[in-house]
Amino acid sequence: MKHFTCVQDIGDLNVALKEAFEVKKTPFRWDTLGKNKTMLLIFFDSSLRTRLSTQKAALNLGMNAIVLDVNQGAWKLETERGVIMDGDKPEHILEAIPVMGCYCDVIGVRSFARFESKDADYREVILNQFIQHSGKPVVSMEAATRHPLQSFADLITIEEYKKTARPRVVLTWAPHPRALPQAVPNSFAEWMNAAGYDFVITHPAGYELDPTFVGSATVEYDQRKAFAGADFIYAKNWAAYAGDGYGKILSKDRAWTVDAEKMALTNNAYFMHCLPVRRNMIVTDDVIESPQSLVIPEAANRVVSAQTVIKRILEN
Ligand code: CP
Q: Are residues 142 and 87 in the same domain?
A: yes
Spacing, Cα 53 to ligand 1 middle (Å): 9
pLDDT at position 182 over 90: yes
Q: Are residues 291 and 154 in the same domain?
A: yes
Establish whether residue 255 lines the binding site of ligand 1, counting it when its CB lies within 6 angstroms of any ligand atom.
no
Angle between helices 125-133 and 93-102 (to 10 degrees): 50
Residue 45 lies in a domain: yes
Establish whether residue 48 lines the binding site of ligand 1, counting it when its CB lies within 6 angstroms of any ligand atom.
yes
- Specify the DSSP element, H or E, that contains 187: helix 183-195
Q: Are residues 68 and 156 in the same domain?
A: no
pLDDT tens profile 49-69: 999 999 999 999 999 999 999
Residue 307 lies in a domain: yes
Residue 110: which of 50, 170, 53 has the closest Cα? 50
CATH number at residue 118: 3.40.50.1370
Establish whether residue 49 lines the binding site of ligand 1, counting it when its CB lies within 6 angstroms of any ligand atom.
yes
CB atoms within 10 A of CB 38: 16
Computed over every residue of the chain, the mean pLDDT equals 98
* pLDDT at position 138: 98
Going by the DSSP 8-state scheme, the letter that residue 258 receives in this structure is: B
Full residue range of the structural domain in which residue 230 is found = 150-299
Residue 2 lies in a domain: no
Residue 53 lies in a domain: yes
Q: Are residues 308 and 167 in the same domain?
A: no
Q: Are residues 59 and 44 in the same domain?
A: yes
**Model confidence pTM above 0.75:** yes
Distance CA 180, CA 182 (A): 7
Residue nearest to atom 1 of ligand 1 (CA): 274
Q: Give me the half-sphere count of Cα atoms (radius 13 Å) on the Cβ side of residue 208.
A: 11
Spacing, Cα 82 to ligand 1 middle (Å): 34
Residue 22 lies in a domain: yes
Going by the DSSP 8-state scheme, the letter that residue 1 receives in this structure is: -
Ligand 1 atom closest to the Cα of residue 149 is 3
Residue 1 lies in a domain: no
Q: Are residues 271 and 239 in the same domain?
A: yes
pLDDT at position 293 over 90: yes
Residue 252 lies in a domain: yes
pLDDT tens profile 125-134: 999 999 999 9
Establish whether residue 52 lines the binding site of ligand 1, counting it when its CB lies within 6 angstroms of any ligand atom.
no
Establish whether residue 150 lines the binding site of ligand 1, counting it when its CB lies within 6 angstroms of any ligand atom.
yes
The side-by-side arrangement of strands in the sheet containing 270-272 is: 218-220, 198-202, 168-173, 232-236, 270-272
What is the number of domains present in the chain? 2
Q: Give residue 1's pLDDT band: very low, low, confident or very high (50, 70, 90).
A: confident
CB atoms within 10 A of CB 75: 12
Spacing, Cα 275 to ligand 1 middle (Å): 6
Q: Are residues 35 and 93 in the same domain?
A: yes
Establish whether residue 7 lines the binding site of ligand 1, counting it when its CB lies within 6 angstroms of any ligand atom.
no
Spacing, Cα 83 to ligand 1 middle (Å): 32
Percent of the chain with pLDDT over 90: 98
Ligand 1 atom closest to the Cα of residue 147 is 3
